Amino acid sequence: MVWPDRFTDLQIRKVLRWLHDIMEKMGGEVPTENEMKQFVWDLLNAGQIVPGFGHAVLRITDPRYIIQREFAQKHMNEDPIFKYVDILYKVVPPILIDRVRPKIPGPMLMPFRGDSMALWSYGI
């Protein structure tokens, strides 16, 4: 495995912390899509961002993310972190298209890497 550079590592940790904070705010319960939509809208309306979505260069969802998402669906489908990421994947892009019209609103690879979620899930 190629270890990420410092910038990438920082982004991974930032998004994992953000996911952990969301989980705490929601009492550890996996939210419905509507609850997550409301959370994301509240976040954006407060002037904050949804880290890990949108890409400066790619005009499609990062293909590396798609591959790792498929892995997580197969091997980590019941993991709470993956459940949050899965819901975010479903609700955030349409909201971003409606709100800020990014060139590509899909998730980038680094913040939602399957290996990062696995390490976090196993306490590593």
Give CA–CA dist 16/22, Å, rounded: 10
Give CA–CA dist 111/14, Å, rounded: 8
Give CA–CA dist 42/46, Å, rounded: 6
pLDDT of res. 1: 47
Greater confidence (46 vs 71) lies with 46
Give CA–CA dist 6/41, Å, rounded: 30
Q: The whole model's pTM is what?
A: 0.76
pLDDT of res. 17: 86
pLDDT digits (tens, 9 = 90+) for 107-122: 555 555 555 555 555 5
Other Cβ atoms less than 10 A from the Cβ of 120: the count is 17
Closest CA to 93 of 106, 82, 102: 106
